[in-house]
Amino acid sequence: MNFQIEQAVEILSQTPAVLNSLLGNLSGDWTKSDENSDGWSPFDVVGHFIHGEETDWIPRAEIILAQGENPTFEPFDRFAQFEKSKGKTLGELLETFADLRRKNLERLRQMKLTPDQLKLKGIHPELGEVNLEQLLATWVVHDLTHIRQIVTVLAHKYSENVGVWKEYLSILK
């Protein structure tokens, strides 16, 4: 599929509504961490989305567009949410994320990116040379990755309750 900003925004703009639909009405048994799991809970994932809005996607786009002497991104802290989300409710996190995402998409629109600008490059601290189009496509796929993670974690809560049907349900494997 060819990259078009408008189509990327179709996904990016819906993610807050997807998370609200998925998580907004769930009781704590669904959304809290399993005591015996070292995986992320839905609560942790929403915190991770927030940290991405604050430090990853648009800040990195701005580094690329500036084309300064050192276009290397700050490393992204994949675990920042464990500290930052403390004391918050899931509802608060969902609201914060929706607000940040709306503002970041407004900043993206104001950039009025041209096809030439999409090919401008920055340096990822681990992966090396990347361009703006790849960054924006990754923003989209990153959203989908973590929605997938949330539904997988939810499904696993019922991994024993489904009995012999487990055999048919690849999400539980």
Q: Contact positions toward its own copies, by CB under 8 A?
A: 1, 3, 7, 10-11, 13-14, 17-18, 20-22, 24-27, 29-30, 124, 127-131, 133-134, 137-138, 140-142, 144-145, 147-148, 151-152, 154-155, 157-159, 161-165, 167-172
d(CA 108, CA 171): 35
User: H/E element holding 89?
Assistant: none
φ, ψ at 121 (rounded to 5°): -115, 155
Closer by beta carbon to its own copies, 20 or else 54: 20
d(CA 50, CA 118): 24
**Shortest Å distance, C-beta 52 to its own copies:** 13
Tokens of 135: 């960054």
**Shortest Å distance, C-beta 83 to its own copies:** 22
Closer by beta carbon to its own copies, 86 or else 93: 93
**Shortest Å distance, C-beta 44 to its own copies:** 16
**Shortest Å distance, C-beta 27 to its own copies:** 6
Closer by beta carbon to its own copies, 14 or else 67: 14
Sign of CA dihedral 6, 7, 13, 14: positive
d(CA 166, CA 158): 10
